[in-house]
């Protein structure tokens, strides 16, 4: 990918975030982000409640973090991102570090999630793709033929130095607070490549899947290798856990997912062999796929808001923990409603071998940050052992 799509290495230091020209307005007074008391044991991040819950071990209190916790709901994020394109920000270690830390400082969550984008591995590999404001990822030349599949560039690890740098800095800053790395799952990345952008029906994707089974298999195999490479770099740089996002897998039947998608998601996790970190697997609208999502190799199955956690625990089985699943829209309601729903999710989560409190999808941009902080405090207060 051309260097001019990133902040250049010779950018003056007074133009880097938090160093003078860009005002960092995160409310933290301290530069470091120690893990809140009670969230991590003497083993640091490795003994944190997040990792313990992921492995089904006893916790001091239910760990909580939010998908899209680093994002548009935070005024400090909007100030820092002003004038910088999303994909550029994702490749600048200074911006990635500061943005990832912002919600940890503000909310006291039990984990940081790396600030990145689901399509970033495609961009770094060389796919001509941009994130259009108000639209989402747009691919200049969508994949529509077998030849298009074979022409896709591979993701080379040596193009991910910026990622390793950012993760290394974050691990040093976070101390006992674990960092979660992430990548997009093969199916969801395939939908963007084939559709050429966001889609509600994913009709072209499914038509390609049915009509070109051999090419479909090659495409998802290549995307699985790319995702595994992206995650390995993060783990090797110090990430304590990883999450594989299959945002659009819910458009598939269980039979199609099992035959045409599951083997490739499993290949991503198989590609992390020898790296002992918890693996979280999440998709939207995947209530009928929950057992299969776990079978892909997850230690933790993410659940959206549509399936109660006690029912999700029954579907997934006793061998895996659960993550979720407060409806993000609840955070826009009045305080009594928020409190009632938080209590419900915590109660239902007791049915799982381990529970990581989260939303059922990402934080909505219009969410009041103060409500997120309140939810963190409430979860901690209600669940302290």
Answer yes or no: 77 catalytic.
no
Catalytic entry in 192, 257, 279, 304: 192
Catalytic entry in 6, 52, 61, 81: 81
Q: Give residue for tokens 């290798």.
A: 225
Catalytic entry in 47, 117, 310, 339: 117
Which of 272, 260, 325 lies closest to 299, judged by CA? 272
The per-residue DSSP string of 77-91 comes to HHHHHTT--HHHHTT
Residues 6+ apart with CB under 8 A from 330: 337, 338, 341
Answer yes or no: 117 catalytic.
yes
Catalytic entry in 47, 72, 266, 275: 72
Burial of 294 (0-12, 13-18, 19+ CB in 10 A): buried
Catalytic entry in 6, 60, 68, 159: 68
Answer yes or no: 72 catalytic.
yes
Residues 6+ apart with CB under 8 A from 293: 246, 249, 265, 281, 282, 283, 286, 301
What is the rounded CA–CA span in Å between residue 90 and residue 82?
Answer: 14
What is the rounded CA–CA span in Å between residue 83 and residue 323?
Answer: 34
**Residue 360: how many CB atoms within 10 A of its CB?**
22
Which sequence positions are flagged as catalytic?
68, 72, 81, 117, 192
């Amino acid at each position: 990918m051309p260097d001019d799509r990133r902040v250049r290495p010779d950018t003056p230091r007074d133009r880097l975030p938090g160093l003078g020209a860009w005002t960092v307005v995160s409310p933290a007074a301290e530069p470091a982000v120690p893990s809140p008391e009670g969230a991590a044991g003497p083993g640091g991040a490795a003994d944190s409640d997040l990792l313990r819950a992921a492995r089904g071990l006893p916790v001091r209190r239910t760990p909580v973090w939010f998908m899209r916790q680093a994002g548009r709901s935070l005024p400090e994020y909007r100030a820092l991102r002003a004038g910088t394109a999303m994909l550029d920000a994702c490749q600048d270690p200074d911006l990635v570090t500061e943005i990832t830390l912002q919600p940890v400082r503000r909310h006291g969550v039990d984990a940081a999630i790396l600030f990145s984008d689901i399509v970033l591995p495609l961009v770094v590999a060389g796919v001509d793709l941009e994130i259009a404001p108000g639209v989402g990822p747009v691919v200049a030349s969508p994949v529509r033929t077998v030849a298009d599949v074979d022409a896709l560039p591979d993701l080379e690890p040596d193009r991910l130095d910026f990622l390793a740098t950012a993760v290394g800095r974050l691990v040093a800053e976070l101390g006992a607070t674990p960092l979660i790395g992430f990548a997009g799952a093969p199916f969801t990345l395939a939908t963007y490549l084939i559709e050429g952008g966001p889609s509600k029906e994913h009709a072209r994707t499914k038509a390609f899947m049915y009509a070109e089974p051999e090419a479909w298999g090659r495409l998802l195999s290549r995307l699985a290798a790319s995702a595994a490479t992206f995650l390995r770099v993060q783990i090797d740089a110090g990430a304590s856990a990883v999450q594989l996002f299959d945002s659009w897998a819910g458009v598939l039947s269980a039979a199609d997912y099992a035959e045409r998608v599951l083997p490739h998601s499993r290949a991503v996790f198989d590609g992390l062999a020898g790296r002992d970190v918890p693996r979280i697997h999440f998709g939207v609208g995947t209530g009928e796929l929950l057992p299969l999502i776990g079978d892909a190799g997850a230690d933790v199955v993410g659940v959206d808001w549509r399936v109660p956690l006690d029912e999700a625990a029954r579907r997934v089985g006793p061998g895996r923990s659960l993550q979720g699943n407060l409806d993000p829209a609840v955070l826009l309601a009045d305080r009594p409603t928020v409190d009632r729903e938080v209590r419900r999710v915590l109660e239902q989560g007791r049915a799982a071998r381990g529970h990581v409190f989260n939303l059922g999808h990402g934080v909505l941009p219009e969410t009041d940050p103060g409500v997120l902080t309140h939810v963190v405090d409430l979860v901690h207060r209600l669940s302290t052992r």
